[in-house]
């Protein structure tokens, strides 16, 4: 699994645009939180998506809290950490946090989207 670092609010627009071609996953990670570390480890350990099917983006919340705030506002989700947002066609079709973060849930939503 190769993370694409998310380091500026301008990149949110690029993710929204890119999500029209391929779904994008944003993982908001707190480097100071053991639950966040565990969620990241579980995600990486079961990740089996090719980049052509789903592009993963990584946000370090400690370094870039302003980006996290912008993501919450843009996609109208409550900020949590750790948290994933699955973006498809410019819309957040899944947000999950803590131990609800799983590859199986991502696959389920990609195959049977609620908001399609």
Domains within the chain, CATH numbers bracketed: 4-111 (3.40.30.10)
φ, ψ for residue 36, nearest 5 deg = -65, -40
More confident residue, 6 or 31: 6
pLDDT band at 114 (very low <50, low <70, confident <90, very high): low
pLDDT band at 116 (very low <50, low <70, confident <90, very high): very low
Look up tokens 């066609």; give the residue.
89
Residue 90 in tokens = 């410019």
Q: Is the pLDDT of residue 78 over 90?
A: no
- Write the Ramachandran bin of 10: left for phi over 0, alpha for psi from -120 to 50, otherwise beta: alpha
Q: What 3-state DSSP class applies to 54?
A: coil
φ, ψ for residue 25, nearest 5 deg = -115, 130
Neighbours of 38 (CB within 10 A): 14
In angstroms, the CA 99 to CA 97 distance is 6
pLDDT band at 31 (very low <50, low <70, confident <90, very high): confident
In angstroms, the CA 33 to CA 30 distance is 6
pLDDT band at 26 (very low <50, low <70, confident <90, very high): very high
pTM, full prediction: 0.92
Q: Is the pLDDT of residue 70 over 90?
A: yes
pLDDT at 99: 83
Q: What's the mean pLDDT when you consider all of the chain?
A: 92
pLDDT band at 28 (very low <50, low <70, confident <90, very high): very high
Point out which residues pair with 91 in neighbouring strands. 88
Q: What 3-state DSSP class applies to 36?
A: helix
């Amino acid at each position: 699994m190769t993370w694409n670092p998310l380091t500026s609010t301008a990149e949110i627009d690029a993710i929204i645009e890119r999500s029209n071609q391929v779904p994008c996953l944003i993982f908001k990670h707190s480097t100071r939180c053991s639950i966040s570390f565990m969620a990241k480890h579980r995600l990486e350990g079961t990740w089996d998506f090719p980049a052509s099917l789903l592009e993963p983006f990584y946000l370090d919340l400690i370094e870039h809290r302003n980006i996290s705030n912008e993501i919450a506002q843009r996609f109208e989700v409550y900020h949590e950490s750790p948290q994933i947002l699955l973006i498809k066609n410019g819309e957040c079709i899944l947000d999950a946090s803590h131990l609800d973060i799983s590859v199986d849930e991502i696959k389920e939503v990609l195959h049977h989207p609620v908001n399609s």
